[in-house]
């Protein structure tokens, strides 16, 4: 009994320490956060929604690089496609091309062998968001979730794809992988470059030279867009402004749905106004508890008239918010509290009708091939699911 008593006291102290660590760390972060709305740009935007096209296109662009390649990914596995990517970067480094690789310290999954191969070849390598004291638990949860590739300062990529075999649909449990990524040519790439260099500077704790070759003259294109970089603040407010103005429809695509109370309320208000709200999510899950965390939110939405779609073709990882053919956001941020209040994200606001049509057509096609979640499926969910749901509600800001 004495042992149990002291064990419980120890557990309570650990929980108190974690809570204080997170609370104080977050309070400090609120005074340091920095969201950047980049200027409106006119460039060329290519829409990509399969891993095969993404890797083939990006690898070909890198193959033709003659100055530098800057790469930032949240996940970078040293598996089959990851090894091919490493070999390509090593090849370009041997040609005298400057290669910088930045990956998230906790999320990347890049093993020691992969890191050593890159460094040995002269590739400049760094980790983003390494956990640190005095707020270790808070910084452990502050992840750089951005995906940015810049080639010669003229070609850029950002979106949902990471580097790993699963993004090619090779995971036997998840199957086909649906994601949205964007390739930029010309004007606008300078903003991706600026954001990469800022993240590189933070990771290396020193100033990053803004070489002239990093910012060449860029051609204008026929697509209008702008980038929005966030660090755990501002994205939920930005989405809420769009939702409150919605008159006809709101489409939300995300692998996870764990909104803030304010965003959930804004969507419920939109439904009361007669707005058609549709949300597409994966049927399968790749992380524990995230699906259970969404259930109560989805139940309230369905009761109010929203349509919830479960993607059946494989795993759905795309992230977009589309409203009335006017507001179109595609990026790295999930529709969850982690992306809104903790992660570093990079989103693109698309303004050109052709880009918006590409997003809308893909979403509507995927919805047509999905199953609709019915209210009775949620109202009569098993006791085991409800227990997991209660656990998920406690930790949902960290999921």
From 92, 147, 223, 291, the catalytic residue: 147
**Cα 213 to chain center, whole Å?**
28
CA–CA gap between residue 58 and residue 56 (Å, rounded): 6
From 319, 329, 336, 366, the catalytic residue: 319
From 104, 152, 191, 236, the catalytic residue: 152
| 319 counts as catalytic | yes
| 145 counts as catalytic | yes
From 165, 276, 300, 324, the catalytic residue: 324
| 376 counts as catalytic | no
From 70, 100, 145, 154, the catalytic residue: 145
From 100, 154, 223, 317, the catalytic residue: 317
Task: With both helix axes pointing from N to C terminus, report the angle between 261-272 and 290-303 in degrees, rounded to the nearest 10.
Answer: 30
CA contacts within 13 A on the Cβ side of 35: 18
CA–CA gap between residue 226 and residue 224 (Å, rounded): 7
DSSP calls for 13-62: HHHHHHHHHHHHHHHHHHTT---EEPPPEEEEEEEE-SHHHHHHHHHHHH
Q: In terms of Cα–Cα distance, which of 246, 241, 76 is closest to 148?
A: 76
| 310 counts as catalytic | no
Q: How many Å from the N-terminal Cα to the C-terminal Cα in the chain?
A: 35
Structure tokens that stand for 398 in this block: 């960290």
Helix %, strand %, coil % of the chain (to 5): 45, 25, 30
Pair 228, 38: CB distance under 8 Å: yes
CA–CA gap between residue 270 and residue 117 (Å, rounded): 52
| 324 counts as catalytic | yes
| 147 counts as catalytic | yes
Give me the active site residues, please: 145, 147, 152, 317, 319, 324
């Amino acid at each position: 009994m004495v042992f149990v008593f002291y064990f419980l006291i120890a557990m309570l102290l650990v929980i108190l320490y974690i809570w204080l660590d997170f609370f104080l760390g977050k309070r400090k972060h609120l005074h340091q956060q920095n969201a950047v709305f980049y200027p409106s740009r006119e460039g060329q935007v290519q829409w990509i929604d399969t891993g095969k096209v993404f890797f083939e296109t990006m690898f070909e662009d890198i193959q033709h690089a003659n100055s530098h390649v800057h790469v930032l990914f949240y996940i970078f596995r040293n598996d089959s496609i990851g090894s091919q990517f490493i070999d390509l970067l090593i090849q370009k480094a041997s040609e005298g091309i400057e290669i910088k690789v930045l990956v998230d310290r906790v999320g990347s999954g890049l093993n020691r062998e992969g890191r050593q191969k890159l460094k040995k070849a002269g590739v400049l390598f760094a980790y983003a968001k390494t956990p640190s004291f005095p707020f270790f638990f808070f910084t452990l949860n502050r992840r750089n979730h951005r995906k940015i590739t810049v080639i010669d300062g003229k070609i850029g990529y950002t979106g949902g794809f990471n580097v790993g075999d699963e993004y090619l649909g090779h995971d036997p449990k998840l199957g086909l992988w649906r994601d949205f990524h964007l390739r930029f040519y010309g004007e606008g790439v300078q903003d991706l470059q600026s954001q990469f260099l800022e993240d590189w500077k933070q990771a290396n704790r020193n100033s990053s030279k803004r070489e002239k070759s990093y910012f060449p003259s860029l051609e204008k294109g026929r697509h209008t867009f702008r980038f929005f970089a966030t660090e755990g603040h501002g994205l939920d407010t930005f989405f809420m402004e769009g939702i409150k103005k919605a008159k006809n429809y709101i489409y939300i695509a995300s692998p996870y749905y764990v909104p803030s109370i304010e965003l959930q309320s804004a969507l419920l208000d939109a439904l009361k106004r007669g707005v058609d709200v549709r949300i597409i999510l994966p049927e399968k899950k790749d992380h524990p508890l995230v699906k259970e965390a969404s259930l109560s939110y989805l139940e309230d939405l369905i009761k109010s008239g929203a349509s919830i779609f479960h993607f059946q073709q494989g795993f759905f990882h795309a992230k977009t918010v589309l409203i009335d053919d006017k507001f179109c956001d595609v990026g790295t941020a999930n529709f969850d509290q982690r992306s809104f209040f903790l992660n570093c994200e990079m989103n693109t606001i698309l303004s050109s009708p052709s880009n918006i049509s590409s997003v809308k057509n893909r979403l509507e096609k995927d919805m047509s091939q999905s199953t609709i979640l019915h209210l009775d499926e949620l109202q009569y969910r098993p006791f085991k699911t409800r227990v997991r749901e209660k656990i998920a509600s406690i930790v949902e800001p960290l999921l």
